[in-house]
Amino acid sequence: MVSVVRARPTLACALALCGCNAISGVGDLDFSSAGSGGPGGGGGEGATQASASTSTSTATGGGSICGNGKLEPPEECDDGNTTAADGCSPACIVECSAPDELEDPTNHHCYWLSGSAAWSHARTVCQSWRDLGDLAVIASERERVFVKPMLTHYTWIGGLKGSAGWAWVDGEPWVEPIWGSGQPDGSGECLGLDQASNFHIDDDNCAANRDYLCEAAPAGS
């Protein structure tokens, strides 16, 4: 999936600007200082995560407002709220550190490996995983190499063969990928990364239950 690359703010900067005073892990924010008059203004995010969810926006620096749904530097994401643990933190930092998740630092896309399911069911799960989620579009060799360490078995990705030929689920132009040796061999109309070919691209039977890789771009517009 192609997207505009955005500069990643430093963690210290993001925390200073949102008024949070400690962090024990990505997406695990400590609001104990909230209400102490930080630059978040208006009483900050509240004393607990529960009350933080009632807050509608937080200043994130440079005139940006976290929680307004607009992606503004230095935000990595903005899902229109200041609720944690939904993929975009109250400081508008992408949350992508759960088991089987991996964040691409160049574009803050989050990948999640799950299994196992037929291709169409896998796609449904990916679309309900988080905002902008879908089966992963591995349209470049860089992306394939990046996600490869996550994989252990044959893994579905977001490509399928229709009446007009092969296509990516996000509509990205189809540029012939590096197929595994001897592929495509007509064994199916869905795309996967095959462990038998060191996770190169393969066509296979869509009904087969496989691991699958989801991808979500950062929320916000």
Report the candidate in 85, 110, 88 with the shortest Cα–Cα distance to residue 100: 110
Contacts of 116 (CB under 8 A, 6+ apart): 153, 209, 210, 211, 212
Helix (H) / strand (E) containing 14: helix 11-18
Q: How far apart are CA 63 and CA 66, in angstroms?
A: 10
For every residue of 43-110, DSSP letters joined together read TTT-SSHHHHTT---EEEETTEEETSS---TT-S---SS--SSSSB-TTS-B---STTEEE-TTT--E
Asked if 213 contacts 199 with a C-beta cutoff of 8 angstroms, the reply is no
Would you say 10 or 187 has its CB closer to Ca ion? 187
Which C-beta is closer to Ca ion: that of 88 or that of 213? 88
Residues lying near Ca ion in the complex (CB under 5 A) are found at 65, 68, 70, 72, 78-79, 81, 83, 86, 88, 183, 185, 187, 202-203
Contacts of 58 (CB under 8 A, 6+ apart): 18, 19, 40, 44, 45, 65, 66, 67, 82, 90, 91, 92
In the complex, least distance from residue 99 CB atom to Ca ion, rounded to whole angstroms: 20
Q: Which amino acid is at 18?
A: C
In the complex, least distance from residue 84 CB atom to Ca ion, rounded to whole angstroms? 6
d(CA 122, CA 209): 9
Given the complex with Ca ion, which of 71 and 136 has the nearer CB atom? 71
Shortest distance, CB of residue 206 to Ca ion, whole angstroms? 12
Q: Is the CB of 38 or the CB of 188 nearer to Ca ion?
A: 188
Least distance (Å) from Ca ion to the CB of residue 27?
A: 10
Q: To the nearest whole angstrom, how small is the minimum distance from the Cβ of residue 150 to Ca ion?
A: 21
Which is closer to Ca ion, CB of 18 or CB of 122?
Answer: 18
In the complex, minimum distance from the CB of residue 205 to Ca ion, in angstroms, rounded to a whole number: 9
Closer residue to Ca ion, CB minimum distance, 55 or 83: 83
